[in-house]
Chains A and B, each alone.
Chain A
Amino acid sequence: MSIRRLPVYLLLDTSGSMRGEPIQALKVGVQTLISTLRQDPHALESVHVSIITYDAKPVVICPLTSLEDFQMPLIECPQSGPTMTGAALEILCRCVDKEVQRTTEDHKGDWRPIAFLITDGSPSDTALYERMIEQVQKRPFASVIACAAGGRAKVEPLQKLTQHVFNLETMDGHSFAGLFQWVSSTVSSGNRSMGAASSIALPPPPPEIQIVV
């Protein structure tokens, strides 16, 4: 019997401005997320993680992998260049269409996927980004959560994507650890029954994360 998976897609901004401490802190944050989830038995059995990085070009650096088998991929930042958030969402939609299993006669469907997008800037490919917002909203996400990290991140484009937009003022290890601890509690509450159309109720975020209304 195959286990119903809870797919979690992490979209990480790796544009040039993330070089140095921010990207290191982000990597440590992802590690924190993974090891926290590994302590949750329900998550360890059901959570599958995929990592998509995006700078001038989006790349699926880790295809959907069970928490059990997950190994941290190499995450690198180019020197500089645009932030192709729209292209990243395009890849996200393609992955979800291909990977997330619906209920069929012979299979129980996966849990509805969760996507986390982290950026320290704003989309460079605005036209594609606008188009992809519509596409993301057509996908069966239980939740799409966007995080604007650092002072230069633009909140407005993210608000068009999802109602769950958070602001992380600084991009240091402490802030990212807090963010990903919270992400893990959000993921942990993703595998429970809910109405067909409702989205998951998010746990309260830690103080260093500000809810953008």
Chain B
Amino acid sequence: MRSLVASVAKTLEEMHAQQRAHGDIEATLKHCLNESKDALDGENFKARALPTDELPVDALQDDVQTFVACTIKIIRGETSEVNASFQANLHRGGDWPEGFLTLLEEASTQEVSISDLSQALDSNSNCAKSAEETASDTATTTPPAEQIETETPPKPLTSSQPVVKVALRNATVGKPYEVEPGAIATAIATQRGDRPEYARVSHLQLPDNCGLVFDEMTGRVAGTPTHPFDGVLSLDYVPSRSAQSIPYNVSLLINPDPASLWKDLPSPTNAPYPKEPFDHSEETQGPFRVVAASRRGRSHANRGEFRDDDFAIGYASDTGWLVIAVADGAGSATYSRAGSKIASAAAKQRLVTVLNSRQHNKAEILYSQHQDWEHPEIRVSLCRILYEAALKAHYELQSEVSNPSDPLPTAATLRNYDTTLIVLVLKKINEGCVAATFAIGDGGAGLLPNPEEGFPITRPEGGDYAGQTCFLTMPEPLKDNQANLERHFHFTVQKEFCAALAMTDGITDPKFPSDAAFADPAQWSALWTELHPALSSSETLLEWMNFFSPGNHDDRTLVAVLPAHATSAPNS
């Protein structure tokens, strides 16, 4: 049956190419089926058409559909109008190519060309063969699947060779790489059924100057790749000691070094809320020296996006309180760059005003009464002051939504301004300090009483999965209840003061790889040792912040607070 259909399909294809008519396909097919065995071919079919008839082009697809529908009936045995002897023979030669029926069913619902069908019929074996021949043929032409390490596009091997597919383990530019001695020969031998102990590879053509070397004695590939590569390598395989070598191919992929792929694309020029990719500042305020820097992360530079981080520094000169705010706008929010800027500026402004006022700075009033910074009421009063500053920042974002300071193409929502916020206030007392923080979202702050030890003064606030955190724009972190305030507030009084650091997660993620590390005093000391020499100026800090850490390419912002007398020399 297959031979008939294939033959008819071919004939149809030819006749369509010549735009020749061939009469009623269904009737012709049925006629062919009912004829004697010898007549079951395309010639018979062709003969029924009148040589002069021309077929309208728009009828071609209809013809194909008819042919398809008929053939489906034939394969399924649904053709009732054929004679008994044919019925008996119908499924005997059931050597249809695999999936041909499915292809036909597919073809009955959508456009398909007759050449697709005849190709499918010709696909994996000669259609004239008997079912038995076809079965044995299939067994020898299909390569064994289990040994194949991976599939590569079929290579033009000579037909006498079995198809051997071997892929070398992927390499990466800059990373040491090795394929163990004999491994390639063993892989090929196993697939071919040779004895691996005698097989060897006498030659492997590696790309020129790729950094990898093939050792012909041992069959080992080793080295550190220097260039990316994705392709096929030719090799000579020797199946046994006395045998001649046979050419084979193996595929190899050398990944580029991720560090080499980063692009530094400028931010858009006509978007609302433009922001410079870098910002830095250095100032002395009362007893403090403040060095701050903020830089656009590689992941943002790579996509030509804005820096979403921001920071603000203020000083209440009448009372000696320093105010720091750092904010990290969410990468997923459209105007988060504005969110971080507005929030940090608003919180800072509010804190400077309140802390500078002898009337409103409750902490100072309480201190003058109790003469003890560790008095519990002082802690409570600072918590309230900082919380209200965060609340003020939240409302500032709300009013930005209703009344944008930059014209926006469409109305924004509060969540378009998603940002974290860490506020830190510090006052120098004798040799030590009083410090309080209120933090919403990730990133964090820490205090080093001396260079040897430090501790966090914010709680880590990552979610169950990376990139999940809470934002100032959400209602939950701003709920005015004791439990919530305690979660976001931190207060400490220290007898010594070496440095305070406030950072976005672009710094805390690479420097503190886990919550346990964030709580570890040794890790803070290690960060200080690394960071301290970079604090000689805000430019050097900005430069240091360009450090490379795989997987950590977010915007980075760090504000360091030091005693004003501290020099930039490394610690003694």
CB-contact partner of A111 in B120, B169, B467, under 8 A: B467
B209 → A minimal CB distance (Å): 21
- Looking at chain A's contact residues, the main secondary structure is loop
Are A69 and B169 interface neighbours, CB within 8 A? yes
User: In chain A between 45 and 74, which residues have their CB closer than 8 angstroms to a CB of chain B?
Assistant: 45-46, 67-74
Given contacts A46-B551, A192-B331, A195-B474, contact A109 B99 (CB under 8 A): no
Given contacts A38-B256, A71-B150, contact A79 B99 (CB under 8 A): yes
CB-contact partner of A19 in B99, B261, B462, B470, under 8 A: B99
Tell me the nearest residue of chain A to B473, going by C-beta: A195
The digit string for B471-482, where 1 denotes a CB below 8 A from any CB of A, is 100100000000
A95 → B minimal CB distance (Å): 16
The residues of B that contact A191 with a CB separation of less than 8 Å are 299, 466-467
The residues of A that contact B464 with a CB separation of less than 8 Å are 102-103, 109, 140
A74 → B minimal CB distance (Å): 5
Are A195 and B101 interface neighbours, CB within 8 A? no
Are B255 and A194 interface neighbours, CB within 8 A? no
The residues of A that contact B510 with a CB separation of less than 8 Å are 1
- In the assembled complex, the Cα of A200 lies from the Cα of B110 at a distance in Å of 35
B146 → A minimal CB distance (Å): 10
The residues of B that contact A106 with a CB separation of less than 8 Å are 514-516
Instruction: Confirm or deny: B151 has a beta carbon within 8 angstroms of a beta carbon on chain A.
Output: yes
The residues of B that contact A2 with a CB separation of less than 8 Å are 513
B506 → A minimal CB distance (Å): 10
Tell me the nearest residue of chain A to B510, going by C-beta: A1
Are A19 and B331 interface neighbours, CB within 8 A? no
Given contacts A73-B151, A193-B469, A195-B418, contact A108 B462 (CB under 8 A): yes
Tell me the nearest residue of chain B to A199, going by C-beta: B332
- In the assembled complex, the Cα of A38 lies from the Cα of B514 at a distance in Å of 27
The residues of A that contact B330 with a CB separation of less than 8 Å are 192-195
- In the assembled complex, the Cα of A193 lies from the Cα of B506 at a distance in Å of 11
Are B109 and A108 interface neighbours, CB within 8 A? no
Instruction: Confirm or deny: B302 has a beta carbon within 8 angstroms of a beta carbon on chain A.
Output: yes
Max chain A Cβ within 10 angstroms of own Cβ: one of B101, B299, B442: B299
The residues of A that contact B99 with a CB separation of less than 8 Å are 16, 19-20, 77, 79-80
User: In chain A between 121 and 153, which residues have their CB closer than 8 angstroms to a CB of chain B?
Assistant: 140, 150-152
Are B148 and A71 interface neighbours, CB within 8 A? no
Are B102 and A71 interface neighbours, CB within 8 A? no
- In the assembled complex, the Cα of A106 lies from the Cα of B462 at a distance in Å of 13
A111 → B minimal CB distance (Å): 4
Are A42 and B468 interface neighbours, CB within 8 A? no
User: In chain B between 247 and 261, which residues have their CB closer than 8 angstroms to a CB of chain A?
Assistant: 253, 255-256, 258-261
Instruction: Confirm or deny: B230 has a beta carbon within 8 angstroms of a beta carbon on chain A.
Output: yes
B461 → A minimal CB distance (Å): 10
Are B468 and A195 interface neighbours, CB within 8 A? yes
Are A20 and B332 interface neighbours, CB within 8 A? no
- In the assembled complex, the Cα of A76 lies from the Cα of B142 at a distance in Å of 13
Tell me the nearest residue of chain A to B110, going by C-beta: A151
Given contacts A102-B464, A194-B331, contact A45 B516 (CB under 8 A): no
The residues of A that contact B462 with a CB separation of less than 8 Å are 103, 108-109
Max chain B Cβ within 10 angstroms of own Cβ: one of A2, A35, A100, A109: A109
- In the assembled complex, the Cα of A201 lies from the Cα of B413 at a distance in Å of 15
- In the assembled complex, the Cα of A183 lies from the Cα of B138 at a distance in Å of 37
Are B332 and A193 interface neighbours, CB within 8 A? yes
Tell me the nearest residue of chain B to A62, going by C-beta: B150
Max chain B Cβ within 10 angstroms of own Cβ: one of A71, A77, A111: A71
Are A44 and B258 interface neighbours, CB within 8 A? yes
The residues of B that contact A207 with a CB separation of less than 8 Å are none
Are B463 and A109 interface neighbours, CB within 8 A? yes
User: In chain A between 71 and 89, which residues have their CB closer than 8 angstroms to a CB of chain B?
Assistant: 71-77, 79-80
The residues of B that contact A21 with a CB separation of less than 8 Å are 116
Instruction: Confirm or deny: B103 has a beta carbon within 8 angstroms of a beta carbon on chain A.
Output: yes
The residues of B that contact A80 with a CB separation of less than 8 Å are 99, 101-102
Instruction: Confirm or deny: B172 has a beta carbon within 8 angstroms of a beta carbon on chain A.
Output: yes
The residues of A that contact B102 with a CB separation of less than 8 Å are 16-17, 19, 79-80
Tell me the nearest residue of chain A to B145, going by C-beta: A74
Are A44 and B468 interface neighbours, CB within 8 A? no
Are A108 and B331 interface neighbours, CB within 8 A? no
- In the assembled complex, the Cα of A200 lies from the Cα of B466 at a distance in Å of 13
Instruction: Confirm or deny: A154 has a beta carbon within 8 angstroms of a beta carbon on chain B.
Output: no
- In the assembled complex, the Cα of A107 lies from the Cα of B516 at a distance in Å of 8
The residues of A that contact B514 with a CB separation of less than 8 Å are 104-108
The residues of A that contact B471 with a CB separation of less than 8 Å are 195
Instruction: Confirm or deny: B167 has a beta carbon within 8 angstroms of a beta carbon on chain A.
Output: yes
User: In chain B between 221 and 253, which residues have their CB closer than 8 angstroms to a CB of chain A?
Assistant: 230, 253
The residues of A that contact B299 with a CB separation of less than 8 Å are 42, 191-192
Instruction: Confirm or deny: B486 has a beta carbon within 8 angstroms of a beta carbon on chain A.
Output: no
CB-contact partner of B261 in A17, A40, A75, A104, under 8 A: A40
The residues of A that contact B253 with a CB separation of less than 8 Å are 71
Max chain A Cβ within 10 angstroms of own Cβ: one of B148, B172, B462, B463: B463
Are B332 and A44 interface neighbours, CB within 8 A? no
Instruction: Confirm or deny: A164 has a beta carbon within 8 angstroms of a beta carbon on chain B.
Output: no
User: In chain B between 161 and 218, which residues have their CB closer than 8 angstroms to a CB of chain A?
Assistant: 167, 169-170, 172
Tell me the nearest residue of chain B to A197, going by C-beta: B468
Are B466 and A111 interface neighbours, CB within 8 A? yes
Instruction: Confirm or deny: A90 has a beta carbon within 8 angstroms of a beta carbon on chain B.
Output: no
A70 → B minimal CB distance (Å): 7
Are B509 and A108 interface neighbours, CB within 8 A? yes
- In the assembled complex, the Cα of A35 lies from the Cα of B255 at a distance in Å of 10
Are B109 and A4 interface neighbours, CB within 8 A? no
Q: What are some 19 contacts across the A-B interface (CB < 8 A)?
A: A3-B551, A16-B102, A19-B98, A35-B230, A71-B253, A75-B151, A77-B99, A103-B464, A103-B515, A104-B514, A108-B462, A191-B299, A192-B332, A193-B330, A193-B332, A193-B554, A194-B332, A195-B415, A195-B474
The 5 closest A-B pairs by CB, nearest first: A192-B331, A41-B261, A3-B551, A19-B99, A71-B150
Given contacts A70-B170, A195-B474, A196-B469, 17 further A-B pairs with CB under 8 A are A1-B513, A4-B466, A42-B258, A44-B256, A45-B258, A71-B253, A73-B150, A76-B145, A80-B99, A80-B101, A106-B514, A109-B464, A140-B464, A152-B106, A193-B467, A194-B332, A195-B470
A residues sitting closer than 8 Å to B (CB atoms) are 1-4, 16-17, 19-21, 35, 38-42, 44-46, 67-77, 79-80, 100, 102-112, 140, 150-152, 189, 191-196, 198, 200-201
